[in-house]
Amino acid sequence: MSLIGSGFLTIFSFVFLISIVVVIHELGHYWAGRICGVHAEAFSMGFGPTLFSWRDKQGTVWRIAAFPLGGYVKFLGDAGAASEPDEAKLAEIRQRMGADAEKCYHFKPIWQRAFITAAGPIANFILAITIFATLAQTLGVNYLEPVVGGFTENSSAQQAGFREGDRITAINAQRVTRFRDITSEVSWRPGERLTFQVERDGETVTLQAAAALTTVEDPYGGEREIARLGIQSTGVALRRTFNPLTAIGYGIDQTWTVVSMTGRYVSYVVTGRSPPTMLNGPVGIATTAGQTAVASVERGEDAAQSVFLLLINLVNLAGFLSVGLGLVNLLPIPILDGGHLVYYAYEAVARRPLSMRAQAIGFRVGLALVLGMMLVATWNDLNYLLGQIF
């Protein structure tokens, strides 16, 4: 594929993914606000200059902005996109609107504010479950059994006593049903001694092994640093089909698996037990979206199949991205949804809200933390791109 073609696909795929997950996240906040009787002054898809906008019957201004890197809902009384309170504006609203001031987000009971705040991440998780369940029911799922088919050179698993034909059933008491589960449990735990439950010749064997941090080449020519045991699969793929009920169960299980793995990885990074090399930002999302799109189009035998594979793989990727966005927003950092929930928890316990000054300081600290995370993620993304070039 030409450079221009791949560039266009990358831009299209990135905008497609971000638009889906961000709009759903913000619609979660918006509809929860509507349920609680809060007036939304603006709903923005993207940041920066407004490309076009319109006002609905409720008086909400809907806008499409130039930079599709996020979005926000601005409720009545908010000082900005992060829903931080504006003390002067709140006092003016209370005096001017009287009883109608109850349409203001910050005058609502704690449980309603918490519900509106949590609704964004919840919407992301619901979107992910819906995507995974729908794809599972319509297309089925191919998977490899968690059976050892061979070993790479200098395999830590082979040194730990694994044998070909071993079926791994659990890692640190976490159930394993697919070969991918092994990678999910191991890749972010370099050097940690893990306990494996293995079925061998009708008996259960317990083994311990530590994965080594290894630089591996991905299917797109780039390099990633992940922890590996050096186990190879048997290569025989099985196919599972689903009815509507089991598909929903699969969607929930898949979403929880991503939440659990991501949450544990972040905790390992924070405590210094794992390097932050797997953290990615907008550049990494765009890169992955572009790689997925190009590979999908090139796999198609004709234009119709290429378009089908493109949409299916991008929608599947949107499911994973939606989980990530929902989870990141629940981090207890002021400016994110999780930080707001921490403020409301304090208010519920102390019987009074945190002072405006303290909240403002918290928002500034939170912004610094988020920008720091973005810098680390962008550094990882650029290192990956440079590794592909050089």
Residues with catalytic annotation? Answer: 26
Backbone dihedral region for residue 259 (phi beyond 0: left; psi -120 to 50: alpha; all else: beta): alpha
Q: Are 108 and 76 in contact (CB under 8 A)?
A: no
Contacts of 333 (CB under 8 A, 6+ apart): 339, 366, 369, 370
Tokens 């303290």 locate to 358
Strand partners, 174: 171
Alpha-carbon distance of 215 to 227, in angstroms, equals 9
Q: Are 362 and 343 in contact (CB under 8 A)?
A: yes
Strand partners, 227: 213
Position 193: which residue type?
R
Which two three-digit tokens encode residue 322?
A: 């939606």
Alpha-carbon distance of 45 to 31, in angstroms, equals 15
Strand ranges (E), the chain: 40-55, 61-75, 141-144, 150-151, 167-171, 174-175, 193-200, 203-210, 212-217, 223-228, 231-232, 237-240
Smallest CA-to-CA distance from 310 within 298, 322, 320 is with 298
Strand partners, 23: none
Strand partners, 55: 61
Q: Are 22 and 14 in contact (CB under 8 A)?
A: no
Tokens 């900005």 locate to 80
